[in-house]
Structure 1
Amino acid sequence: MSTDHKPFRVLFVCMGNICRSPAGEIVFRHLVDEAGLGDRIQIDSAGTIGYHAGNPPDPRMSETLRNRGYTISGRSRQITPTDLTDFDLILVADEDNLRDVRSLASPGQSLDHVQLVTDYCSDHDANHVPDPYYGGPSGFEKVADLVEDACGGALVSIKSRIAE
């Protein structure tokens, strides 16, 4: 494998960047590392609001993921217009996030790479990842189920894009 390849960059986005998008980042990083593609795919997450900037993932989301064997990492940040050009694929949790991310685009800027994370689900019939913040443990489990499904599908898609 040549070392001069630019890594494929993936950004997960939700509203506050403490539940859904960090779950995407954490699960996807795990899958990418397991596939031996950590040098070919870079992963980050962001929120459409900056209210939680600098905070770690929500403790309830962290516990849910830790119980599934994931290593918890990351700090919340707000998405920027530059992210629209810096990332090859931007996966958003719901239609509100999609609208908010699209509003950052310059006139005429292509946004084909901004998609709903659930577009990559194969085992779940869902059109968004629900925000679990104000709910109980079952909401965090549902987020983890959807994110695991979508991340698996996204990895298959990305592998075909970066294949030499």
Structure 2
Amino acid sequence: MINILFVCLGNICRSPIAEGVFRDLVEREGLSKKIKCDSAGTASYHIGSLPDRRMRQIAWENDIELNHKSRKLAGDDFYNFDYIVAMDEANFQDIRNQSYRSSGFYFPEDKLFLFREFDPELIKPDDTAQLSVPDPYYEDIAVFDEVYRIVVRCGAQFLEYLVEKNQLKK
């Protein structure tokens, strides 16, 4: 079983939609017995809360169910997950720092990614800010929709990467 963790700041917008979309992609490819996913936040602002209502609306409009309850990234996550996928550079750095504080080692570089590294619409930019999934929390519904479209693209490419790297078969 391959375990994936999607991480953003508060675990109510970007990482829950990434988790929901990715779970849907995995199920459609017949790989749900081989790949599991979850999401978490680097901050504890919204622990126990459902995803933002605007993110749930966008998910619902696209036949994705979001019923995840927000949780904070924990030390055990570095042992329980094979891959951790950050939504932006700040969270990427927080994950690296917390992995070291929690376990005495940095989570392996080849298992920790910025999600937009898998965005087929980006041409490997030098600026890591371009690799960020935008945080829609203080924005209007259009940005939530943009985030959805980004995670669909990235999720499909990330799943393709996992299938190839781990030689998964349905």
Q: TM-score, normalised by structure 1?
A: 0.91
What residue number does 1:155 align with? 159
Instruction: Single out whichever of 18-27 and 101-110 deviates more from structure 2.
Output: 101-110
How far 1:41 sits from its partner (Å)? 0.3
- Aligned: 1:114 with 2:112: yes
How far 1:120 sits from its partner (Å)? 0.8
Query: Take 1:162 and 1:66, find their aligned partners in 2: how far apart are those partners?
Result: 31
What residue number does 2:127 align with? none
- Aligned: 1:93 with 2:90: no
Amino acid across the alignment from 1:79: L
The 4+ residue runs of structure 1 with deviation greater than 3 A are: 107-110
Instruction: Single out whichever of 105-114 and 130-139 deviates more from structure 2.
Output: 105-114
Amino acid across the alignment from 1:114: L
What residue number does 1:70 align with? 64
Instruction: Single out whichever of 85-94 and 22-31 deviates more from structure 2.
Output: 85-94
Amino acid across the alignment from 1:119: E
What residue number does 1:3 align with? none
How far 1:115 sits from its partner (Å)? 0.9
Instruction: Single out whichever of 142-151 and 80-89 deviates more from structure 2.
Output: 80-89
Query: Take 2:107 and 2:137, find their aligned partners in 1: how far apart are those partners?
Result: 32
Alignment of 1:1-164 (within 5 A): 7-106=1-100, 107-112=104-109, 113-124=111-122, 126-163=130-167
Verify the 8 A CA contact 1:124 1:149 in the aligned structure 2.
no
Total equivalences in the alignment: 158
Which structure shows the bigger proportion of residues in helix conformation? 2
Q: TM-score, normalised by structure 2?
A: 0.88
How far 1:61 sits from its partner (Å)? 0.3
Query: Take 1:84 and 1:128, find their aligned partners in 2: how far apart are those partners?
Result: 22
Query: Take 1:124 and 1:142, find their aligned partners in 2: how far apart are those partners?
Result: 15
Percent same amino acid among aligned pairs? 34
* RMSD over aligned Cα atoms: 1.3
How far 1:24 sits from its partner (Å)? 0.4
- Structure 1 residues not aligned, in runs of 5+: 1-6
Verify the 8 A CA contact 1:12 1:45 in the aligned structure 2.
yes
Query: Take 2:91 and 2:66, find their aligned partners in 1: how far apart are those partners?
Result: 23
